[in-house]
Structure 1
Amino acid sequence: MAKGPRYKVPRRRRREGKTNYYKRYRMIVSGHPRFIVRKTLNYIWVQVATARPEGDVIIAAAHSNELRKRFGWKAGTCNTSAAYLTGLLAALRALEKGVEYAVPDIGLHRPVKGALVFAAIKAANDAGLKVPMGGEVAPSEERIRGEHIASYAKILRENGLLEKRFSRYLANGLQPEDLPSHFEEVKNKILEAYKR
């Protein structure tokens, strides 16, 4: 660490690598709510929040584990399909609260084409919540529905490795080849729950 009388110690969350204060400042100055997408190893969080001097106020939120508990999702909770459904759920809740526009906040995640965070933002736009995003960075519809997983599972079934690679899917009662239809089923449940 640098020493000397002119050295300025960065803020704690910057030192820990949790917050980019320049980006946060730019989003807060815009005056619009933020569409926050955070990814962990097992889950995806999506929140719509506004900044206040005393701290952020969460307007609407969704967690990918809710997909299992409330809507019968049997696949993983940290894949592209789950990110889309979680973003859809959060966006529908935000629309109920009167939010029509939000600024995307992907935190410290790298903005890579087809990333999970963009699947959640695409879901928000599909739900009717305006969140600016370039069309070329969003994952394809086939990838969002999980067709790549279904085709991979077919290859593994031919080689006899399906039970080893997709043991959690099978334990939950879902054949990996049926993921696209299961995705549509859960998506329709979410839309029915919020009458869209």
Structure 2
Amino acid sequence: MAHGPRYKMAFRRRREGKTDYRARYKMVETGKSRLVVRITTYHVISQIINVGMDGDETLVSAHSKQLQKMGWLGGTSNTAAAYLTGYLCGKRALKAGIEEAVLDIGLRPAIRGSKVFAALKGAVDAGLKVPHGESVLPDESRIRGEHIKEYAESLDEEERKKRFSRYLERGLSPEDLPEHFEEIKNRIDEEV
């Protein structure tokens, strides 16, 4: 006669909704480094991670807050910031001798054109080899912030000041976002 509970308790991170162990196992099985992209409320984090015997080892990391130190005046969690963070991570990975990785989006849904895929496009444009389908990547115009520029131009002055107060406080006109994006991208090329 068997004694004890008849159920098996799931791992803590599974219960908390933080880890899909089946997907993680498949990724770890490839033996390749993982390009881990995480989007928080205010920031984008992009890392190259290997699985080690004592847990995951972060080899290269880029955080959208680091973009501000390079002169970025836009938001740190928008699509443009996600791309630039991925681009910075990709450049740092190549400098560290890492040439390929597999994308790890965690528990985020794979939505075509999302910030996660903007970060992926940034890493790929930097030269990192990451298997992906072109259809999931956001449009170039969206990454550069052309839609924000068009929206800002459609508003009257009072509404523009209200909607883009943070941009204006930092000294960036929303109409200048595409040019500012290119400026920061070039700065990443120079510094890394």
User: 1:159, CA displacement in angstroms?
Assistant: 6.1
Map 1:38-117 → 2, pairs under 5 A? 38-69=38-69, 71-117=70-116
Once residues 45 and 126 of structure 2 are traced to their aligned partners in structure 1, the CA distance between those partners, rounded to angstroms, is: 17
Map 1:143-162 → 2, pairs under 5 A? 143-156=142-155, 158=156, 160-162=158-160
Once residues 163 and 9 of structure 1 are traced to their aligned partners in structure 2, the CA distance between those partners, rounded to angstroms, is: 53
Q: What is the identity percentage for the equivalent residue pairs of Structure 1 and Structure 2? A: 55
| TM-score for both structures, normalised by structure 1 | 0.94
Matched with 1:37 is 37
Matched with 1:20 is 20
> Is 1:165 the equivalent of 2:163?
yes
Once residues 150 and 184 of structure 1 are traced to their aligned partners in structure 2, the CA distance between those partners, rounded to angstroms, is: 14
User: 1:160, CA displacement in angstroms?
Assistant: 2.8
Once residues 148 and 168 of structure 1 are traced to their aligned partners in structure 2, the CA distance between those partners, rounded to angstroms, is: 17
For residues 10-31 of structure 1, what are the alpha-carbon distances to aligned partners after superposition, in whole Å with 9 as ceiling and x for unaligned? Answer: 1001111111111111111100
Once residues 129 and 169 of structure 1 are traced to their aligned partners in structure 2, the CA distance between those partners, rounded to angstroms, is: 31
- SS at structure 1 position matched to 2:54: coil
Once residues 11 and 87 of structure 1 are traced to their aligned partners in structure 2, the CA distance between those partners, rounded to angstroms, is: 31
Give unmatched runs, 5+ long, in structure 2.
none
| TM-score for both structures, normalised by structure 2 | 0.96
User: 1:53, CA displacement in angstroms?
Assistant: 2.0
User: 1:132, CA displacement in angstroms?
Assistant: 1.1
For residues 85-144 of structure 1, what are the alpha-carbon distances to aligned partners after superposition, in whole Å with 9 as ceiling and x for unaligned? Answer: 000001111111111110100001110010000011111111110011110110000000
Once residues 157 and 169 of structure 2 are traced to their aligned partners in structure 1, the CA distance between those partners, rounded to angstroms, is: 20
Matched with 1:122 is 121
For residues 145-183 of structure 1, what are the alpha-carbon distances to aligned partners after superposition, in whole Å with 9 as ceiling and x for unaligned? Answer: 000001111112x26301111100000000000000000
Which residue identity is paired with 2:25?
A: Y
Once residues 94 and 6 of structure 2 are traced to their aligned partners in structure 1, the CA distance between those partners, rounded to angstroms, is: 48
- SS at structure 1 position matched to 2:23: helix
> What RMSD in Å do the two structures reach over aligned CA positions?
1.0
In the alignment of these two chains, the number of paired residues is 189
User: 1:5, CA displacement in angstroms?
Assistant: 2.3
For residues 46-75 of structure 1, what are the alpha-carbon distances to aligned partners after superposition, in whole Å with 9 as ceiling and x for unaligned? Answer: 000100120111110000000002x10001
Once residues 72 and 95 of structure 1 are traced to their aligned partners in structure 2, the CA distance between those partners, rounded to angstroms, is: 23
